[in-house]
Amino acid sequence: PTATPGAGTLRFPRDFGWGAATSAYQIEGAAKEDGRGESIWDTFSRTPGRTRNGDTGDVAADHYHRWSEDLDLMRDLGLRSYRFSVSWPRIQADGTGRPNQRGLDFYRRLVDGLHERGIAPMVTLFHWDLPQSLQDAGGWENRDTAYRFADYADAVFRGLGDQVPVWLTVNEPKTVVQNGYLWGHHAPGRQDPDAAYLVAHHLQLAHGLAVRALRATGSTARIGPAFNLHPCYPADDTPAAAAATRLYDGYENRLYLDSVLTGAYPADVLADLGEESRLVRGIADGDLEIISSPVDLLAVQYYTPIYVTADGGTVQRWATSEAEWQQIHPEGMYDILTRVTRDYGPVPITVTENGLPCPDVLGADGTVDDAGRIAFLRDHFAAAHRAIAAGVPLESYHVWSLLDNFEWAEGYDQRWGLVYVDYATQRRIPKRSAHWYQRVISDNGL
Ligand code: GBH
């Protein structure tokens, strides 16, 4: 694609896939309906002290019942692409065995409804809601979970297959590794570094096995991984900071990118983990061939840069959002997109998440004025536009998120949506940013 400059405007390539994203546990609710089993996020969020205000996804934005109204909202926005995830425990309550037809039917209705409205579905197979039964059997520490995932993926491919043009395998393996197993802020709430990197390997293996499962069905759909990438910059210009940044980048980015796109884990990270680490001991012959099975596209999620000090710590450089981990730095979007293309070649890229939480309030006049989100998106869209002009094959961009939703450990306090959700009534109110985005889409630019 080529970006053509217009008079005072940033015009995007023709057919650019303007979109928005969500995930199953964060919006669906209906936790006990139609044969859905329990996931590790049900367990985690129902455990006292794990989420803000004890919030759970039991009801969330009630999308499971309001999907048709939500599809109309997407049509009114003018979305060309909608990224959502399938809940594994709706398809296999215990993580194995025959697929649950009622679960498949829900997603079939969703996919059909998108096509009826001229919106392309993009489907993530796993956005963190692992069936609890599989966790009881060891979860992602157990190599077998990767094979269970491939079976589940096969059931979803066969159930929805011909209507889905783009599949994404595992959402943000790094977040499972870091938040689930290093820091314990996410399910399953562990703090075990040695386990964490074995989990990374099994998530990568699961990705590769799912790619192979799709090919085995004969499908012509496209598939790829979804990585949250962090541009890492040295905090000062000392050689020690440069070296520390290099290793930090290995853990944040190359561990995932290199294994899928080059067929090897980064040597510096493996050396740092050591021969006795569970990751190094857990790599079986042939695993890297599976993990690096050719993909059709790479999904990039960008929220924040990281500034690394000489001793391997981090410092804040830019103003943060409502989320204290997020520094606002639009240039990071340009840097990460151009870097991926430079280092890994011209693999097509989709941005599958980028967004900002705002302290949104419903005004007395019934509107939500989220000017900060508009400025944030405008600056990040402009950075993406420059990346396209620099040769990055970026084909679509999904704002996180379509709706306010269950923000994991932050519960419902953080609002990330283009559309406000009044949880007491479940009424949807497009924010000012939604009206602004509608205009960007119809103009195909800024
Ligand atoms: C994405 O993760 C997720 O894919 C999406 O589900 C989520 O709603 C969205 O971003 C917004 O957060 O408090 O130090 O434990 C982005 C990566 C990983 C960033 C978890 C925040 C918590 C940091 N996120 N992390 S900490």
| pLDDT of the residue at 16 | 98
Evaluate: CB of 23 within 6 angstroms of ligand 1.
yes
φ/ψ of 170, rounded to 5, equals -110, 125
If one residue of 22, 128, 179 were mutated to test the ligand 1 pocket, choosing by the most ligand atoms within 8 A of its CB, it would be: 179
Say what the pLDDT of residue 8 is.
58
Q: Is 183 in the pocket of ligand 1 (CB under 6 A)?
A: yes
- Chunked mean pLDDT (size 10), the chain, 446 residues: 58 98 99 98 98 98 98 98 99 98 98 98 99 98 98 98 95 98 98 97 99 98 98 98 98 99 98 98 98 98 98 98 98 98 98 98 96 98 98 98 98 98 98 98 97
Which runs of E-coded beta strand occur in 271-321?
298-301, 306-308, 314-315
Query: Is any ligand 1 atom within 6 A of the Cβ of residue 400?
Result: yes
Please answer whether residues 259 and 291 qualify as being in contact, where contact means their C-beta atoms are separated by less than 8 angstroms.
Answer: yes
What's the CA gap between 372 and 299, in Å, rounded? 25
**Residue for token pair 């060309």:** 80
Nearest CA to ligand 1 atom 14: 325
Instruction: Give the whole-angstrom CA distance, residue 52 versus residue 41.
Output: 14
Q: Annotated catalytic, 353?
A: yes
The closest residue, in CA terms, to atom 23 on ligand 1 is 325
How far away, in angstroms, is 359 Cα from ligand 1 center? 17
CA distance 280 to 201: 9
Distances (CA, A) of 228 to 110, 364, 385: 26, 37, 19
* CB of 22 closer than 6 angstroms to any ligand 1 atom: no
How far, in Å, CA of 320 to CA of 328, rounded?
6
Closest Cα partner for 17 from 439, 431, 394, 436?
394
Is there an atom of ligand 1 within 6 Å of 85 CB?
no
Q: Which of 39, 400, 402, 406 to mutate to test the pocket of ligand 1 (most atoms within 8 A of CB)?
A: 400
Distance from residue 176's CA to the centre of ligand 1 (Å): 10
Tell me what pLDDT residue 7 has.
Answer: 47
Sign of CA dihedral 89, 189, 327, 330: negative
State whether the beta carbon of 51 lies less than 6 angstroms from ligand 1: no
Distances (CA, A) of 399 to 79, 180, 237, 300, 368: 10, 24, 34, 12, 18
Q: Is 363 in the pocket of ligand 1 (CB under 6 A)?
A: no
Grouping H, G, I as helix, E, B as strand and the rest as coil, residue 36 is: coil
Active-site residue identified among 172, 252, 395, 407? 172
The answer to whether the CB of 407 is under 6 A from ligand 1 is: yes
Phi, psi of 300 (to 5 degrees): -115, 130
C-alpha of residue 90 to centroid of ligand 1, in Å: 23
Supply the pLDDT for residue 350.
99
Cα 55 to its chain centre, rounded Å, is: 21
Q: ipTM value of the model?
A: 0.93
Dihedral angle computed from the Cα positions of residues 11, 12, 18 and 21, in that order, rounded to the nearest 10 degrees: -110
| C-beta of 303 in contact with ligand 1 (< 6 A) | yes
Tell me, what's the pLDDT at 1?
A: 45
Q: Is there a contact between 173 and 227 (Cβ–Cβ < 8 Å)?
A: yes
d(CA 351, CA 227): 10
172 is catalytic: yes
Q: Look up the pTM and report it.
A: 0.97
How many angstroms separate the Cα of 433 from the Cα of each of 80, 107, 208?
17, 28, 37
Pairing of strands 222-228, 166-171: parallel
Taking the centre of ligand 1 as the mean of its atom positions, its distance from the CA of residue 276, in whole angstroms, is 30
